[in-house]
Amino acid sequence: MTPKTSTDLFLYLIDIYDLILRGHRSIDLAKKLLDYLVSNYRSLHVPIPGCLLGWTHSMFVFVIYLHLIEPTYDYNPEYIKKHRLRLYSDPDPKQWSWDTYISLLDLISLKWNELEQNDDLAQFLRVLMTLAQKFCLYIHTKDVLSVDNHTHDVSNTKYHVRLSPESIVSVMRLVHFRFHPYRFEHLSLKSNIDHFIDTEKRHLVSRKFRENVLSWMWDHVVLIGDRDIASHDQLGENVSSFTCLFKRHPAGQLTSWQRQMTYNTYDEIDDRLKEFLHLHFIDQYFQSVYNVPFLKYFVVFDVFQHRANIDKCGVPLILRLQGSFHAYFAGKCYRGDTVKNAFVLWCHLIKQIDCKPYNMDFSLLVTEIFETLSDEEQVEGFWTIRDDDL
C-alpha cells in the first residue's frame, strides 16, 4: 500500500502505531517504511498546518520508523580508528550524550565522500539509528540531552527535556547516508585531456563564466542534511544553497571559495573547485560545438533518484558517486575519480560502441582526446592576434 494523500498517510501511520502499542514489530515493515520515506522525502518534507510548529510529514514517518527498528550497539572500533571518526571517550554507545552523538553525525556528513562503504560502516550507521531512537522518542535529563539550544522543556518536570523539532531534523540525515550499488572496473587510458583543458581555460577571462560556475557550485557542495537543518526555521520556503552553507560553514571558507573562483588564476584555484571548472569547460565545449548542454544530458548527480533511468539509458553517462566522478554504460561503472579521467573514459566508451547519442557525431571530439598531437598543435598559453598579424 502506498498512501496517496496526507490523510491516507496519517491513517496508515496510526494503524502502524496501534500495532506497535500491541507489541508487534516487523523488520519488513520497517524497511518498507524507510524506503517510502527516502523515495518521497522531498514531497513529505513540508510543514504540517496547525499548531504543530516545526513538524513535517517526513518527521512523523521517521518517528514511526524508529519505533520499528531493532536496537543494536555493536560496531567495529577498528573502522572508527582507521577513518578517524572517534569523538567519544567511552566506546560504549549507551554512554554517549547528545553532544557526542550530534558531533558524530556532523563528522560523518563532512567525511562521507572519504568513507569506505562496507559492512562495518553499515553496522555503525545502525548503531547511530538505535541512538536516534533513544534520543528522539524519549525525554531525558539535561546531562544526556546536553546542548541547551537543541531542547525544549517538558511541562511538570524540573530536570527533563526533549529534543526540539530542528534537532530531530538533524538526526533525519541518517536516512540519506545511502550506499550506491555500483562496483568499479578499472581502465587506464592515454589521452590529450590536459591539452583539452588548457584550451578551454580561455573561458576564465570571462567574468560571466566564473559567476555561472560559482552560483552553480553552491548546490553541489552542501553536505548531507545541511539544507534541511539550515532551512528548518523557514519551512515551506525555497532557501538558497548559499544561505544554507552560510549557516552551517565557517564564513571564511565560503569567502575563500568565492575569491578563488572570481579572481584567482587556474593554477591558484583549489583542486576541489577545479573539478567544477572542468565540468563547465566540457559543458561550454559541447554547447559551442554541438549546441547541447553536457551537464544536462550526460552527467547524473543524484544516482538514487535516477537509478531506474540510468540502468535503461542507451548512451554512456558520467555519475557522481561520493563526490567523485565515474563513467557508466550498460551496467558497468568505470572508476574515474576526477572529472578529467571520467570524461576520458566517457569518450572511450563513445569510441568503443561507435555510438551517436541523440544523433550527434562525436568523432571529432574522440579524435581530439585520443589522437597523438604534433608539436605544431601543442600551443601553450593565450595569444592576441592583431590586424597587422593577418
Q: What is the pLDDT of residue 274?
A: 92
* C-alpha to C-alpha distance for 307 and 331, rounded to whole angstroms: 11
Give residue 389's pLDDT: 52
For 56, 161, 194, 304, the CA distances from 199, given in Å and listed in that order, are 49, 61, 9, 34
Q: What is the pLDDT of residues 97-119, one digit of tens each?
A: 999 999 999 999 999 998 988 99
Q: What is the model's pTM? A: 0.84
C-alpha cell at 247: 549557516
* Closest of 330, 326, 370 to residue 348, by C-alpha: 370
Predicted pLDDT at 334 = 92
Residue 149's pLDDT is: 84
pLDDT at 112: 92
The domain segmentation of the chain, as residue ranges, is 6-176, 184-370
Q: Nearest 5°: phi and psi at 338?
A: -100, 165
pLDDT of residue 385: 53
Alpha helices in the chain (DSSP H): 6-21, 27-39, 41-44, 57-68, 77-82, 98-111, 119-137, 165-171, 193-200, 207-217, 226-230, 241-248, 251-263, 271-289, 294-298, 307-312, 339-352, 363-370
- How much is the pLDDT for 345? 92
pLDDT in tens, 319-354: 999 889 999 998 889 999 999 999 999 999 988 886
Whole-number pLDDT of residue 56: 87
pLDDT in tens, the chain (390 residues): 566 777 777 788 788 878 777 777 778 888 888 888 888 888 888 888 776 788 888 888 899 899 888 899 999 999 999 999 988 888 899 999 999 999 999 999 999 998 988 999 999 999 999 999 999 998 998 888 888 888 888 888 888 899 998 999 999 999 999 898 888 888 888 888 899 999 999 999 989 999 999 999 998 888 888 888 888 877 767 778 888 888 888 888 889 999 999 999 999 999 889 999 999 999 999 999 888 899 998 999 988 888 888 888 888 999 999 889 999 998 889 999 999 999 999 999 988 886 677 777 888 888 888 887 555 544 444 445 555 555
